[in-house]
Amino acid sequence: MYSSKLKTYLIFYVISFLILFLFRIFVVKEALSLSFMFAFMFSFVFPFFFYVIGLHKILINYFDNQYYAKQDEINFQKNLRRELQRKRALSEIDNENLHYQNQLRIEYIAQVAQIHLHQYLANMYQQAIINNSTQNELTAQKQLLELEAELKKQGLI
């Protein structure tokens, strides 16, 4: 902001100096006091005239807009980088969450399968007991052999 004001006033003084220089070359060749009077006028009055008509605001806005456009571009690039980093971090978190959810599902399925296996084995055991108590020893023996084979297969015996 301050640099735009400085640039604006430098432009005013450069324009004033050029007008004074041209006036001195073409109009006043011998009147030195008149030259100093015009130098004073162009050094102080002419920039004040620009200030009064509002030309300084136009130039300040022009320089500020250039500065703000550069800052907007820089901020846009920073925000874009931050957004990409945030999305990458979120995708990594999502991948970790998915991995964790899959592990929980696997453990849950293993527990459910173990419960069902135990229920299956318990049902076989109950059937063997029922068959044994109802004098169906051959069927009970067959079921007990199946039960023992299943327990060996599961590594429980």
pLDDT at residue 132 greater than cutoff 80: no
pLDDT at residue 88 greater than cutoff 80: yes
Give the chain's length.
Answer: 157
Of the candidate ranges 29-38, 106-115, 136-145, the one whose mean pLDDT is the lowest? 29-38
- More confident of the two residues 73 and 67: 73
Q: Give the 3-state secondary structure of the chain.
A: CHHHHHHHHHHHHHHHHHHHHHHHHHCCCCCHHHHHHHHHHHHHHHHHHHHHHCHHHHHHHHHHHHHHHHHHHHHHHHHHHHHHHHHHHHHHHHHHHHHHHHHHHHHHHHHHHHHHHHHHHHHHHHHHHHHHHCCCHHHHHHHHHHHHHHHHHHCCC
- If you average pLDDT over residues 124-129, what whole number do you get? 74
pLDDT at residue 13 greater than cutoff 80: no
Which pLDDT score, from 0 to 100, does residue 35 have?
A: 64
Which pLDDT score, from 0 to 100, does residue 33 have?
A: 62
- More confident of the two residues 82 and 62: 82
Which pLDDT score, from 0 to 100, does residue 26 have?
A: 64
What pTM was estimated for this model as a whole? 0.37
Q: pLDDT grade, residue 78 (50/70/90)?
A: very high
